Amino acid sequence: MPATINDLLLWYKASGIQEASITIPLVELIISFLLLTICLLLRFPRVGLIVAYLFTYRWGWLFYLHNNFSGQQARNLFLTGYIIFGIIVLALTVVAMTMPGRASSND
């Protein structure tokens, strides 16, 4: 039976995700900033975007590991959505970056 919008809103309110917090390790934050700075200084913006995506995806995984969901179903739903949307975004990003685009001023 498909869930209605009202069911999804009720689940979201009951899940407690909006009150959740995440602690990002300082070492990972420093490494992220250093890698992004190096990518931008060496004019590799596409590599920098991938680096930013991977670190953000990692921090989302930390959120998943340390969050106490209201039940196993909520935890499984979050994990499934997280993995599926992560793969979709990564695939679309790689495809978009491999396609020839407009000529930039750096060429």
The string of pLDDT tens digits covering residues 5-35 is 787 777 777 766 667 666 778 898 899 999 9
pLDDT per residue over 54-80, tens digit each? 898 888 888 777 777 677 887 888 888
Residue 15 or 40, more confident:
40
**pLDDT for position 79:** 85
pLDDT per residue over 81-98, tens digit each? 889 998 998 888 888 888
Buried b (16+ CB within 10 A) or exposed e, 69-92: beeeebeeebeeeeeeeeeeeeee
d(CA 106, CA 36): 18
Say if pTM beats, i.e. exceeds, 0.95.
no
